Amino acid sequence: MGMLPCEKEVVKIVLGVLTVLVWSGTCFAENISASFVFGDSLVDVGNNNYIISISKANYPPNGIDFGKPTGRYTNGRTVPDILGQELGLKDYTPPYLAPTTVGPMILKGVNYASGGAGILNEMGKIFVGRINMDAQLDNFANTRQDIITRIGESAAQDLFQRALFIINMGSNDFLDNYLTPILSKPEQELVSPKEFVGVLIPRYKGQLKRLYDMGARKIMVTNVGSIGCIPYSRDINSSSAGIDECVALPNDLANLFNKQLRGVLQDLNNSLKESTFVYADVNRIFGDILHNFKSYGFENADSACCRLAGKHGGIIPCGPPSKVCPDRSKYVFWDPYHLSEDANTIIAKRLIDGGIEEIYPMNLRTLFKH
C-alpha cells in the first residue's frame, strides 16, 4: 500500500530537517583543521610530565574521570579538550613534549601549555621548570616548520588559517609573581597594580602578534578568571567561607588586566589583515557559575573536591594523600586552583554558542562558519 499524500509531506519535512542537521554538524567539523593550544596549568595536557618541575599532575587522583592521570590538572577533561571534541576533532590535542607527538599527528594540532607558565619569562621560578609563553611560541615555530616540510608551504598556510588557536595566559603572572605570599611584598611596595599590568599587556600583545606572523588567523584569547575566588586565595588570605567573600586584590588585578586585554585584541583585529582575535570572557562565565552554582547542579562553589589542608582545601595541591569528594559533579573546583570537568564543560559550551557579552566579537560556532 502506498503512502497517503499527507504522509509523503511529513516524510519530506522529516528528511529535510535531518539533512539540515547533518549538514550543519559536518560543516562545523570540516571547517576546523586543527587546534593549537598555548597556556598554563588550566590547559596543560601533559607537557610538564617531561620537564623537571614542582608543578605536575601526572599522579592520582588527577584524571580520575579521564581514565588515568595524564598531566591534566583536573579530574577529567580541560576546556580545550571539550572544545576540540565539540568542534569535530576526533582526538585530543597532544602535548608537544610527548615523544609520540610526531609525524602526521601534528597536522591535527599540538598543545604547548605548561603548568606554572606565564606571560613574563621570569614568572614561575618557584616551580623550577616551566615553559613560559615565549618558549611555547618557539615550540610552535618548530612545529610550523615540521608541517611545512611535510605538506608544503601553501597547504600549511591553509591549515593554519582554518585552525583554532587557543591562548590561556595571565593567571600565574599574578598568583605566582605579584601575589606570591611573603616573596612578593617588596615588589608590591615598589610596583603598583596598574604598573604591573602595564608591563604585562604590551608583552602579551607582542606575543599574540608573533603568533599571527607565524600564520594564525582564528585566535581565541581567554581573559583571567576571578582568581580571588579560588580555594587557594580564600585559604591563604584567611577568607571565611561564602560565595560573596572572595579576595578583593586578586580580582581587582584580573579585572584591570582583562579590560586592557580586550582593547588589545580590538587593536589587533583592526591592524592585522584577515585576523580574528576573539575575546573569551571566561571571567564572566566563571562568575555566573559561582553566583548561580545551584542552578547548574553544583552543591559547592568555594572548596576543592580534591583536598588535604585548609578550610577550603586550598593549601596543598591535589595528590595521592588527598581526599576526594564523593561526587565530583557537585563541585565547581577540582583542586585549590583548577575547575572540575563539569565546570569546564559549561565554560566550553558557552564559548561555542554564547552571546557577544561572553565571547566577542563572535562565538566559536560563528567563527568557523566564516
C-alpha pair distances (Å), 182 with each of 171, 186, 368: 18, 8, 46
Single-letter amino acid code for the residue at 344: N
The predicted model scores a pTM of 0.90
Q: Is pLDDT above 50 for 330? A: yes
Active-site residue, from 281, 338, 340, 342: 338
Of 41, 226, 239, 340, the active-site residue reads 41
pLDDT band at 17 (very low <50, low <70, confident <90, very high): very low
Q: How many beta carbons lie within 10 A of that of residue 273, not counting itself?
A: 6
Q: Is 312 a catalytic residue?
A: no
Q: What pLDDT is recorded for position 183?
A: 63
Label residue 125 by pLDDT band (50, 70, 90): low
Residue 239 grid cell? 577568607
Catalytic-residue membership of 338 = yes
**Among residues 256, 258, 259, 232, which one has the least CA distance to residue 246?**
232
Contact between 285 and 316 under an 8 Å Cβ cutoff? The reply is no
pLDDT at position 232: 95
Catalytic residue among 44, 81, 302, 335: 335
pLDDT in tens, 126-145: 666 789 999 999 999 999 99
**Cβ pair 161, 215 in contact under 8 A:** yes
Task: Answer for the pair 17, 75: CB distance below 8 angstroms, yes or no.
Answer: no
Tell me what the pLDDT averaged over the chain comes to.
90
| Active-site residue, 41 included | yes
Q: What is the pLDDT of residues 169-224, one digit of tens each?
A: 999 999 988 887 656 667 777 889 899 999 999 999 999 999 999 999 999 999 99
